[in-house]
Structure 1
């Protein structure tokens, strides 16, 4: 617990306001006027975490109360480090969006869901609760250092699924690694049924419209062309080399989704010590949602 925080006392008004805060934006122009205030609210993260450490959290979709002793906090970036039932803060933000869209875990289980990951805590959580009948999980296996024979390989830029196969597509921490993101968006739109939804997280350049480009895909060679020093993120099937970052998407990602065939696209900012959805610079987590 951080020094100077006394969670046994009633939280202040500003911390109470973050018990379950959600705002949605369809453009950077709508988000920009609120950015300074959100960054100031980020200074309250320590107090929010202290409340969660005292009360525990309520898991989205299941409604399970996870007691304080079952929480793990593995660092100051709470988006990645606040762990409960194998889920990260950003995972619970995705579940919160799904809860609001579907209403219940039973309703979600009646839909066809594609999760573009298979070895994560979220994948295991969904597999236990949805089962194989309504959930398809995959990994991108090209260049994998570790891969089980039972893993399904899928390339977001060339999905093997038929048109209108799924009701929900979930992509977490993938968009920054996709060589041709616009192609991937068209493929996701193709495999979604009318009215289906994409829910995703990724590192976002939330203070600007333009993406931060780290590498470009060479159409002739199929290889990346680096811009500056390469950046790689951890990957469970590439524990040594990691996955190359092509870009940190900016708010232009919403226009790219609409151009790919989505009828609506928005970014939610979700912050909640009640649900254990907390961030790092911002008080909460940014979640992309697009409707087919």
Structure 2
């Protein structure tokens, strides 16, 4: 017996515009004029998901087609969903940026890469594609609930690597948890070679210049002062408590990166039901890219 045919979809003009869209912004002043329109496009996410559920997605970089039945889709925050091959929507947004910068997985495999995570689906996917010879993964193991002797411990504010060790540093969903983000940015710039790239995602207060500060760490006393009620995000190393959120970065992070030694900074907004990159309030995902 033949499988029933899928219903023919007739996407609206607005949905078609989000099949593979990318725009880049160097500052909040450049982003602010388009914010209202982007928020309106966020209302199209349910329609975009219908297309994805019918057609599947084309994975960036690998070009692999992932059929609808191989996807796990949960809403309404599609930034953290549309799971296929272990990757989330925001992970594929990062792959889109990497594909544009490096062209192919083969070219990226010739670079020295530092990924500031080791246990995620993204880390497993990248190791399968690039191998371990020129790729380093780590976790922040201080006060870890799970003891993992097989994982390298690194503190982004005090990296153990020599200057100019890497061509690419990848930071996914980390900046909100770093005690001293300015110091962390300086450390990333230090270990990158001239012309090297930082590519990152994090929850952003995308509608404002200033960060939303939730906690502050005192390096002298070692204590953390809460400025709001404590917020924790899921962490594979700390499955019970999660990781404390110190801030939700605003657009000021572009200036912080420039002050830390990066020459070019952009925030890319990527929305693509074709590639399984969709968001929540915004129709897509914001990816930070900075060049040393």
Question: Normalised by the shorter chain, which TM-score bucket?
Answer: over 0.9
Check whether the contact 1:7–1:47 (CA below 8 A) recurs between aligned residues: no
Partner of residue 159, structure 1: 159
User: What 5-or-longer segments of structure 1 have no aligned partner?
Assistant: 1-5
Check whether the contact 1:7–1:51 (CA below 8 A) recurs between aligned residues: no
Partner of residue 3, structure 2: none
1: distance between equivalents of 2:82 and 2:7?
17
In 2 relative to 1, CA 100–7 (structure 1 residues): closer, same or farther, beyond 3 Å? farther
TM-score normalised by length of structure 1: 0.97
1:198 aligns to 2:180 (yes or no): no
Give SS of 1:184's match.
Answer: helix
1: distance between equivalents of 2:27 and 2:258?
12
Give SS of 1:156's match.
Answer: coil
2: distance between equivalents of 1:145 and 1:52?
37
Partner of residue 181, structure 2: 181
TM-score normalised by length of structure 2: 0.97
Partner of residue 112, structure 2: 112
- Cα shift readout 1:40-99 (whole Å, capped 9, x = no counterpart): 000000111111111111111100111111111133210001100000000000000000
Check whether the contact 2:9–2:51 (CA below 8 A) recurs between aligned residues: no
Give SS of 1:29's match.
Answer: helix
1:10 CA displacement: 1.6
2: distance between equivalents of 1:128 and 1:201?
21
Partner of residue 21, structure 2: 21
1:226 aligns to 2:226 (yes or no): yes
CA RMSD in angstroms comes to: 1.0
Partner of residue 288, structure 2: 288
Partner of residue 277, structure 1: 277
1:148 CA displacement: 1.6
2: distance between equivalents of 1:284 and 1:91?
12
2: distance between equivalents of 1:168 and 1:86?
22
Partner of residue 3, structure 1: none
- Cα shift readout 1:146-181 (whole Å, capped 9, x = no counterpart): 132101000000000010000000000000000000
2: distance between equivalents of 1:133 and 1:28?
39
Quick check: 222-231 or 173-182, which moved more?
A: 222-231
Partner of residue 81, structure 2: 81
In the TM superposition, 1:1-292 aligns within 5 A as 8-292=8-292
2: distance between equivalents of 1:242 and 1:160?
24
Give SS of 1:157's match.
Answer: coil
Give SS of 1:138's match.
Answer: strand
Aligned residues: 287
Quick check: 67-76 or 115-124, which moved more?
A: 67-76
2: distance between equivalents of 1:48 and 1:74?
13
- Cα shift readout 1:227-283 (whole Å, capped 9, x = no counterpart): 021111110010111100000000000000000000011100000000000000000
1: distance between equivalents of 2:30 and 2:134?
36
1: distance between equivalents of 2:228 and 2:59?
41
Give SS of 1:196's match.
Answer: strand
In 2 relative to 1, CA 7–35 (structure 1 residues): closer, same or farther, beyond 3 Å? farther
Deviation >3 Å, runs of 4+: none
2: distance between equivalents of 1:291 and 1:211?
22
User: What 5-or-longer segments of structure 2 have no aligned partner?
Assistant: 1-5
2: distance between equivalents of 1:13 and 1:228?
42
Quick check: 220-229 or 92-101, which moved more?
A: 220-229
